[in-house]
Amino acid sequence: MSRTKGRRISLLRYWTTRYAVTLAIGLLVLAMLSVVWIRHTTLENKLDVSEFLAAELAIRIAGSQQEGHDSETYIDDDIIEAHDELAKMDSPPSIFITDASGTILSASDQKLYSKESFPDVILKRENDVHTFPMRDDHHSLVYLIKKPINVNDVTFGWVVMLQAENQFADLNDEYRLLALLIAGSGLLGWAAIYILSRRLARPISAAAAAANEIRNGNYGVSLIPSKVKEQEVYDLVTSFNDMAIRLEQLESIRAELLAGVTHELKTPVTSISGLLQAVKDGVVTGEEAEEFITISLNETERMKTMINDLLEFNTFAANALPVSTDSKELNSLTRDAVYEWNLARKTDRISVLFHPHHQDLFVLSDPVRFRQIMMNLLNNAAHAIEGTGKITVRVYDSEDYASIDVMDTGVGIPESEQTLIFERFYRGENKKFKVRGLGLGLPFSQLLARAMDGDLALKETSSTGTTFTLTSKKQR
């Protein structure tokens, strides 16, 4: 049972078979409606032709009466042949000439009616077309068409035509043509969907095969978008290629970042071990030994900080670290964070300029998490500045959000690194050898900002500086 549920069929087979079934049902319904319509319209047309023939014959007989000819000689074979040509019947109708009372004076064929006269009630009915059951087969009908023979507005007799229903409704040619059209439409429709499905299935199959290669660790696959004409499929192919390139980049840096993180944690351990071993072995004594112990403690604190950052990031990423937002005034929050950061730094080579908004901006924020974000941004800005420089912090209003720009005059971020700066554990080339850390500052800050219904993004960067924008949702 589970094996049956898990069975899959190809896209080409799935679409073509289901389209063929749908097309067959649709054409069958169309054929049935067409048969009914053809039968009805053909019968109506043939009845009109027969009425015309009966009326024409009645006019001729009336003319012959005026000239004194015998009415029996006016069942004209030419008229019957003309009727057969117009109505396309295999056999001519039975034509009867009667007097005014319905007594039959002349008949071309009495297979359908063998009595001596027609009932007066039928002849005097208002309708010119009537039906009655066939003599030998009560399930079949005979059509009766009558027209009066009038001379000077006096009815001298009747022209009565009888035709079996199966002769009236002989539609074999029409049915054959309809069957040919239905079959041709079905074949053309199936061929069209087969060709289109095959064209669509090819790039999807190629993408599936390429995805399987990526799953197996081969990130060097690439699809060819130039052969694709459909916009949606082209977007799929190009997006897949971009994804493959990005996965290859991420896989490449993953090993490098893992080595970097291992190095960042191993280095202080090695340093602490060497320093303490020197003190233990008496290689250093006195003040120098105390200095070694102090360095070891500092390295221990630095390693502890990195481990805490890692644990806090993992905890927050697992939604286990709560964020409690409340209405806070953004100018005050930002001013306090900048002031605290200024107090903690030990150099005057960087000046910080703070530009508050001209009016109070109340936002939904967690002050503790906000402080973490601002400290990370200010630290990154300071690390980007070589020598002297300045950091500008500007608060401004942007519709539903209030924003903070943190601008530095540093060296900027290379274009190749701009899409990776928010990847966890990523550290740029200019930073990895100068600043100790795990590369979690920006990813963690972005997670915190989004948890408070805001965001953190790289606004712009160049060789003259970089600007990050922190947005916070305003309190209405």
Tell me which residue of 135, 136, 98 sits closest to 119, measured CA to CA.
Answer: 98
CA distance 179 to 31: 8
The β-bridge partners of 164 are 142
Our CA dihedral for 266, 269, 273, 274, rounded to 10 degrees, sits at 60
Residues of the chain within CATH 1.10.287.130 domain(s) are: 219-321
Cα dist. 320→144, 155, 373, 438, 453 in Å?
Answer: 93, 107, 18, 21, 17
CATH number for 11-174 (one of 3.40.50.920, 3.40.50.2000, 3.40.30.160, 3.30.450.20): it is 3.30.450.20
Provide DSSP, 274-295. Answer: HHHHHHHTTSS-HHHHHHHHHH
pLDDT the model gives residue 66:
63
Q: Which helix (H) or strand (E) holds 35?
A: helix 11-67
Q: Which residues, in sequence order, are CB contacts of 162 under 8 Å at separation 6+?
A: 93, 94, 96, 112, 113, 142, 143, 144, 145
CA distance 238 to 222: 9
User: Which of helix, strand or coil describes residue 376?
Assistant: helix
pLDDT the model gives residue 72:
47
Q: Is 321 exposed, middle or buried (0-12, 13-18, 19+ CB in 10 A)?
A: middle
Tell me which residue of 469, 453, 445, 468 sits closest to 364, measured CA to CA.
Answer: 453
The values of phi and psi at residue 130, to 5°, are: -135, 165
Q: Which helix (H) or strand (E) holds 302?
A: helix 286-317
Helices (H), 68-100: 77-87
Specify the CATH class of 323-473 in words.
Answer: alpha beta
CA distance 247 to 232: 22
Q: How far is CA 94 from the centre of its chain?
A: 65
Q: 361, 399 in Cβ contact below 8 A?
A: no
CA distance 408 to 436: 20
CA distance 422 to 404: 18
Q: 364, 450 in Cβ contact below 8 A?
A: no
C-alpha angle with apex 186: 182 to 192, nearest 5 degrees? 145
In terms of C-beta distances under 8 Å and separation of at least 24 residues, what long-range contacts does 302-308 make, across chains too? 302/268, 302/436, 303/265, 303/268, 303/269, 303/272, 306/264, 306/265, 306/436, 306/437, 306/438, 307/265
Going residue by residue through the chain, which has 476 residues, state the pLDDT in tens, using 9 for 90 and above: 444 445 666 667 777 777 778 878 888 888 888 888 877 787 788 788 888 888 888 888 777 766 655 544 445 555 555 555 544 555 678 888 888 888 888 887 778 888 888 888 888 888 888 888 877 666 678 889 998 988 888 888 888 888 887 776 566 677 788 888 888 887 887 787 777 777 777 777 777 788 887 777 777 777 776 666 767 777 777 887 888 877 777 777 666 656 656 656 666 777 778 878 887 888 777 887 888 888 788 778 767 766 776 666 666 555 555 677 888 899 999 999 888 888 777 667 888 899 999 898 899 888 888 888 888 888 888 888 888 888 999 999 987 789 999 999 888 888 878 877 877 766 666 655 455 556 677 887 888 888 888 899 999 988 889 999 999 988 76
Helix axes 441-451 and 367-384, enclosed angle (nearest 10): 150
C-alpha angle with apex 62: 57 to 64, nearest 5 degrees? 95
8-state DSSP, 318: T
pLDDT the model gives residue 86:
47
CA end-to-end distance (rounded Å), the chain: 57
pLDDT the model gives residue 3:
46
pLDDT the model gives residue 467:
93
Residues of the chain within CATH 3.30.450.20 domain(s) are: 11-174
Q: 158, 146 in Cβ contact below 8 A?
A: yes
Architecture of domain 219-321: Orthogonal Bundle (1.10)
Residues of the chain within CATH 3.30.565.10 domain(s) are: 323-473
Q: Which helix (H) or strand (E) holds 301?
A: helix 286-317
